[in-house]
């Protein structure tokens, strides 16, 4: 059932590659736990007591609440799938309560730090330098996800209308506006990109490519982002998602409408976007303290 479940969430539910990989791993870990603790080979034979004991085991192992909740979601999806396939009669997860998640505050880079990075740090010259700066600029200027950047195609970019289209979660396409500055950088990069493809006698539908003309891959993006954010930020987290957080946070700090930011990020619900409002409130507190005569 594991393989059928994987195909189901990948092909029918259209979960992202990252989510499919995580859910498959979670289900495998649960299966291994059942084998070692209860001598049960198939997770469809587990009851809610066994599931609860696994969650307690994870807590004892100091697994984060967010990770445990993701594993709980995996099992919820799996047992709902089994009911759909008529393999079980009821979902044992209905009797399982996941641990409460504490408040989550996203890590972000401050506006002046990003300005310093993009305006004053020397990225160098040539294809690699141009590509690296473009990666930082696109992630920060658009708030797109890592997977959306990697899969961004040239035919989805319209520099004349200053916009591009990305395929987000659940295969949903959305239109994102870009600045004139970013459009200029992309225009300049196009020449260098063509030279790389000609050098290696290749073509590619993907806009951001490696020095060998191949599609970009996650580890390379992580290395690039971490390298350059380290010049301006002391944050422990320096990932592509940090730039997405920075995009949203700095927009809201400058008065952007929450619903507009939700659409730009491609969130399905406003609740996902509201995590960024904490920084807006903090900025209001700073203004209040500076300006109010009795503060």
End of a domain among 37, 67, 95? 95
Exposure class string for 270-285: b at 16+ Cβ within 10 A, else e: eeebeebeebbeeeee
Exposure class string for 167-189: b at 16+ Cβ within 10 A, else e: bbbeeeeeebebeeebbebbeeb
Query: Which residue of the set 48, 116, 165, 267 is catalytic?
Result: 267
* Active site (annotated) includes residue 241: yes
On whether both 178 and 276 belong to a single domain, the answer is: yes
On whether both 190 and 215 belong to a single domain, the answer is: yes
Rounded Cα distance between 107 and 125, Å, is 30
Residue 174 lies in a domain: yes
Residue 193 lies in a domain: yes
Q: What is the total count of domains within the chain? A: 2
How many Cα neighbours within 13 Å face the side chain of 144?
27
Give ∠ CA 116-117-120 in degrees, rounded to 5: 65
**Where residue 13 falls among pLDDT bands split at 50, 70, 90?**
confident
Residue 106 lies in a domain: no
pTM of the predicted protein model = 0.69
Q: Supply the DSSP string of 83-139, one letter for each residue.
A: HHTTS-SS-GGGG--PPPPPP-------HHHHHHHHHHS---SHHHHHHHHHHHHHH
Of 191, 168, 165, 179, the C-alpha closest to 137 is 179
Token pair, residue 56, equals 């307690």
Query: Which residue of the set 169, 174, 200, 237 is catalytic?
Result: 169
* Active site (annotated) includes residue 262: no
Percent of the residues in the chain that have a pLDDT greater than 90, as a whole number: 66
On whether both 64 and 194 belong to a single domain, the answer is: no
* Active site (annotated) includes residue 4: no
Kindly report the CATH number assigned to the domain that includes residue 60.
1.10.150.130
Kindly report the CATH number assigned to the domain that includes residue 269.
1.10.443.10
On whether both 128 and 265 belong to a single domain, the answer is: yes
Domain span holding position 125: 111-289
Residue 84 lies in a domain: yes
Chain position carrying tokens 């740090």: 121
**Where residue 277 falls among pLDDT bands split at 50, 70, 90?**
confident
The pLDDT of residue 293 is 73
Residue 101 lies in a domain: no
The pLDDT of residue 45 is 92
Residue 105 lies in a domain: no
On whether both 89 and 135 belong to a single domain, the answer is: no
Rounded Cα distance between 265 and 114, Å, is 19
* Active site (annotated) includes residue 169: yes
Q: What is the pLDDT of residues 140-189, one digit of tens each?
A: 999 999 999 999 999 999 999 999 999 888 788 999 999 999 999 999 99
Rounded Cα distance between 76 and 173, Å, is 27
Determine the 3-state secondary structure of 172 from DSSP. coil
Rounded Cα distance between 74 and 208, Å, is 32
On whether both 47 and 144 belong to a single domain, the answer is: no
Residue 104 lies in a domain: no
Q: What is the pLDDT of residues 96-135, one digit of tens each?
A: 887 776 555 678 898 999 999 999 999 999 999 999 999 9
Query: Which residue of the set 71, 133, 145, 193 is catalytic?
Result: 145
User: Contact at 8 Å (CB) between 82 and 31?
Assistant: no
Residue 100 lies in a domain: no
Q: What is the mean predicted confidence (pLDDT) over 38-56?
A: 91
End of a domain among 28, 60, 95? 95
On whether both 162 and 247 belong to a single domain, the answer is: yes
Query: Which residue of the set 156, 165, 241, 278 is catalytic?
Result: 241
On whether both 165 and 191 belong to a single domain, the answer is: yes
End of a domain among 27, 61, 95? 95
**Where residue 217 falls among pLDDT bands split at 50, 70, 90?**
very high
On whether both 192 and 119 belong to a single domain, the answer is: yes
On whether both 128 and 66 belong to a single domain, the answer is: no
On whether both 199 and 91 belong to a single domain, the answer is: no
Query: Which residue of the set 193, 238, 244, 245 is catalytic?
Result: 244
**Where residue 272 falls among pLDDT bands split at 50, 70, 90?**
confident
On whether both 25 and 156 belong to a single domain, the answer is: no
């Amino acid at each position: 059932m594991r393989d059928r479940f994987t195909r189901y969430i990948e092909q029918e539910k259209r979960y992202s590659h990252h989510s499919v990989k995580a859910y498959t791993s979670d289900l495998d870990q649960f299966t291994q736990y059942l084998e070692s603790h209860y001598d049960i080979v198939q997770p469809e034979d587990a009851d809610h007591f066994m599931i609860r004991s696994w969650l307690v085991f994870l807590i004892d192992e100091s697994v984060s609440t967010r990770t445990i909740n993701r594993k709980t979601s995996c099992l919820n999806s799996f047992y709902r799938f089994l009911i759909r396939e008529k393999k079980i009669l009821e979902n044992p997860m209905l009797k399982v309560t996941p641990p409460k998640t504490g408040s989550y505050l996203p890590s972000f880079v401050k506006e002046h730090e990003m300005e310093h990075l993009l305006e004053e740090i020397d990225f160098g010259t040539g294809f690699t330098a141009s590509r690296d700066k473009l990666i930082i600029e696109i992630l920060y200027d658009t708030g797109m996800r890592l997977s959306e950047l990697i899969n961004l195609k040239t035919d989805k970019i319209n520099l004349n209308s200053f916009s591009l289209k990305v395929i987000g979660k659940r295969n949903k396409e959305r239109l994102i506006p870009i600045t004139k500055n970013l459009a200029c950088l992309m225009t300049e990069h196009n020449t260098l990109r063509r030279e790389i493809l000609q050098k290696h006698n290749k073509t590619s539908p993907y806009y951001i490519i490696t020095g060998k003309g191949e599609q970009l891959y996650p580890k390379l993006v992580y290395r690039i982002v971490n390298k350059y954010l380290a010049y301006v930020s002391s944050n422990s987290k320096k990932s592509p998602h940090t730039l997405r957080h920075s995009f949203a946070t700095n927009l809201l700090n400058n008065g952007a409408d929450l619903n507009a930011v939700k659409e730009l990020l491609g969130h399905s619900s406003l609740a996902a976007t509201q995590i960024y409002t904490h920084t807006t409130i903090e900025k209001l507190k700073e203004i209040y303290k500076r300006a109010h005569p009795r503060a």
